[in-house]
Chains A and B, each alone.
Chain A
Amino acid sequence: MKKNLRVIRELIKIRFHNLMVFRLDFFSPFFVDGSLFLVQLLVFRVVYSNVDAIGSWGRGEVILYIGTFSLLNAVSMSVCFFGLLGIQDKVLSGEMDLYLTKPVSPLLRLTFEQVNPGSVPLILMSLCIIAYGAKVSRLQIGPESLLAYGFWLLVMEILYYEMEVLMRAVSFYVISNARLIQLEDASLDLCMKLPGIAFYGVYKLVFYMILPYGIMATLPVQRLVGEMSWRLGLWGISVVAVFTVLTYVVWTRGIRRYNSASS
């Protein structure tokens, strides 16, 4: 554990040195993703100027949803997204050899080697959106609700991370996972725009179970607004547990299958 922390600290230090070389690109992720979520806010503001509610959710709940999704995305962008992004290329080119020969877990190194401090303002922006959403929905948030919300955020951040790893770990088994990444992009794009409460039938099956992007921001918000039943909570925990096992199996078996540049 102590060794891993030292490795993480060193990786962050090296990353900062690299980022200082390309200063102009430093805040790119903030501007790009910030604009994406601002557009989302604008879209729902316009929708709510024409309707009173979407299902059981008013404007405040949807703002909370957008803020929560933005926060999950921002944390991932700040910590691991850019590191995990390169997994496929590293597998195809054989560069993964370098990661396997180091005395540290390859996934740990991939997770932390491209931390992006330029995305940190996005976390602050997301927190502002969440605070605004709470104000609009006139929520009385006690410490217990806040703690539970924090817990669900953490659980869903783990799920978000696992989905990112899983989608890219498939490249150990196939020549190209480009279509899977396209599917991930399309699903994320849909679930960023649409709260999970809008899903039903086969859509619910897909986005609550198979590609669980639909529960990622929905569950924390439902807990915060007091809409979460114990069944839903249990479902959320079960999904995360199943995906944790799945990610572990796919990753470890993938590493074993890896045959350097001929993979």
Chain B
Amino acid sequence: MCKYREIARVFLKSQMAWRADVAFNMIFTVSRIVFASLLWGIIFAGKDVVAGFTFHGMLSYYIISAFLYQLEMSDGISGEVCARIRNGTFSKYMILPVSIEGYFTAMEAGVALFYLGFDLAAALIWVFIFRIEFVLTADVTIWLCSLCMILLGLFFMVQLNYYLGILTLKYQGIDTFLMIKRHFVELVTGSIIPLALFPEAVVRVMKLLPFYYVTYLPSMLLTGKLAGEAISGLGILAAWCALMQALIRLTWSRYSRKYDGVGI
């Protein structure tokens, strides 16, 4: 555990070298808020409630989901694993005295911890600038459930990206797939529009998938909605994490021998 804590600490510190990235990361969270404010501003001009959301409830949802979306930075893991397998330098991770997946999880934890404060500050600034009457639940149990769900969701995304990365061992070129995945993940996590707007049958299917619990449900819980789904959501997401872990182990044991360290 010490080793992983050290990895997280190193990555947390190394973020200090990229100060401009931090600042721009904060600034660009605004694009989602601008999108929400303009799109929903024009829609709510003729309506008070859309799919159970008031205008300020909707913007509060976007503030929280943009914050969570920005915090989730594991997307680079699949690209890194894929590139290193392709050019034969994945050995760098194989010789480390830690589990490779654990290394990436600790890395993600370090980076996310560093950005946590900045993203939170950005969210507060946007609430103030856009004069949003921020809707936030005061229920402590819901807060605890949401925090657990956010952590599990971040872990699931690390697992997913790591799993997709190691698929390079079998499929060699997965860059196109990774880019397509990015577009669909943005949609099914509710980062573009809240999933509550989808038809009920679609939402029912989405509830069976893990993406529903990564950004959408925690955002809804924190804005005081769907409290009844908190516990079951945690269970489903934990089950998906376990399933993904098994899938990673199976894929790694089956294909790791294909890696010869000389690139493709």
Q: Which residues of A contact B (CB under 8 A)?
A: 24-25, 28, 31-32, 35-36, 39, 42-43, 46-47, 49-51, 53-55, 179, 182, 186, 189-190, 193-194, 197-200, 203
Contact = CB atoms under 8 A, between A and B. Distances in A.
B187 A42 contact: yes
A39 B184 CA distance: 7
Contacts of A32: 176, 179-180, 183
By DSSP majority rule, is chain A's interface helix, strand, loop, or mixed?
Answer: helix
Contact of B197 (A49, A55, A199): A49
Nearest to B50: A50
Nearest to A53: B46
A186 B193 CA distance: 17
Contact of A186 (B28, B42, B43): B28
A54 B43 contact: yes
Given A24-B173, A28-B176, A179 B31 contact: no
A169 B41 CA distance: 36
Given A42-B187, A51-B50, A194-B39, 6 more contacts: A25-B176, A39-B192, A43-B192, A46-B198, A49-B199, A190-B31
A55 B45 CA distance: 9
Contacts of A197: 42
A54 B42 contact: yes
Contacts of A200: 38
A35 B197 CA distance: 20
B99 to A, nearest CB: 31
B187 A31 contact: no
Contacts of A24: 173
Would you list the 4 A-B pairs with minimal beta carbon distance, nearest first? A28-B176, A32-B179, A35-B180, A198-B38
B75 interface: no
Interface in B1-59: 20, 24, 28, 31, 34-35, 38-39, 41-43, 46-47, 50-51
Contacts of A203: 34, 38
B193 A46 contact: yes
B260 interface: no
B101 interface: no
A69 to B, nearest CB: 15
A194 B176 contact: no
Contacts of A28: 175-176, 179
Interface residues of B, number: 29
Given A25-B176, A50-B197, A51-B50, A43 B187 contact: yes
A54 B193 CA distance: 15
B186 interface: yes
A36 B183 contact: yes
Contacts of A25: 173, 176
Nearest to B173: A24
Contacts of B28: 182, 186
Contacts of A53: 46
Contact of B20 (A42, A43, A51, A179): A179
Nearest to B30: A186
A31 B20 contact: no
B193 A31 contact: no
B183 A39 contact: yes
Interface in B204-220: none
13 contacts: A32-B180, A35-B179, A39-B192, A42-B187, A43-B187, A43-B192, A46-B193, A46-B197, A50-B197, A54-B39, A193-B192, A198-B39, A198-B41
Contacts of B184: 35, 39
Nearest to A203: B38
Contact of A39 (B41, B51, B176, B186): B186
A31 B42 contact: no
A193 B180 contact: no
Contacts of B180: 31-32, 35
A244 B43 CA distance: 35
A221 to B, nearest CB: 16
Contacts of B175: 28
A55 B39 CA distance: 9
A55 B42 contact: yes
Contacts of B38: 194, 198-200, 203
B42 A198 contact: yes
Contacts of B198: 46
Contacts of A31: 176, 180
Contacts of B51: 50
B31 A189 contact: yes
A39 B199 CA distance: 16
